[in-house]
Structure 1
Amino acid sequence: MGRVKSVLIAAALLAASPAAAEFAKVDSQEEFISLIQGKELRRPFVRLEVSREGEISGMGAAWAVTGNWTWQDGYFCRDLFWGGDPLGYNCQEVRAHDNRIRFTSDRGAGDSADFRLR
């Protein structure tokens, strides 16, 4: 069951996204906080809240998502759990455009996940 959950959340959180041309890199923690403060991050089957204090909470499919984050050297670094299973620590590049935000794993070299900010 844990393996199935990991595959489902990885697919939901790291699905390929449109080209990055319209997205601008978020360089600072202050800019990131101004984007996410008071907003919910949404994509199909995923709803997350990322607090300015470094907490992550929400739902992915039918399971709770929890975790913590810090801003390090221009990257959003998070330690995430889905349904109690660890998804691990990863530092991600953040880009934004209008009411959308994109996280790209492995400091911008990995898979991307786009969210709507609502």
Structure 2
Amino acid sequence: MRHEMGLYEVPFRSIEQRLKTVEIRLNDLKRQQVQVGDQIQFTHTETSETLLVQVTKRETFQDFQALYEHVSQESIDCVGWSIDELVTSTYTIYSPEAEQQYGTLALHIELLP
């Protein structure tokens, strides 16, 4: 199955350069449908460029803090960030209320040609 998701400039380029191999999302109803082996087409929110990836692993967590304590900073292209900085940054996209309702998701991905 193929899913479609948007990405801002920095994470889009990180995936494009194969620096980011884990995509962090809310485990909402849309993302609960994503399974290992599925493809995700990421569309750049400003340029409409696209990238195609395959999901190689999915991991769910109660909250973003637990997720960030588990995944490596290298895999999300955020080396040097503290857990607090990662969580605070994520809250600019997702609300703590949505986090409590759905939990969080780490999608391990591989860029396809």
- Alignment TM-score, normalising by the size of structure 2: 0.31
Structure having the larger proportion of residues in helix = 2
Whose relative contact order is higher, 1 or 2, with alpha carbons under 8 Å and at least 6 apart?
Answer: 2
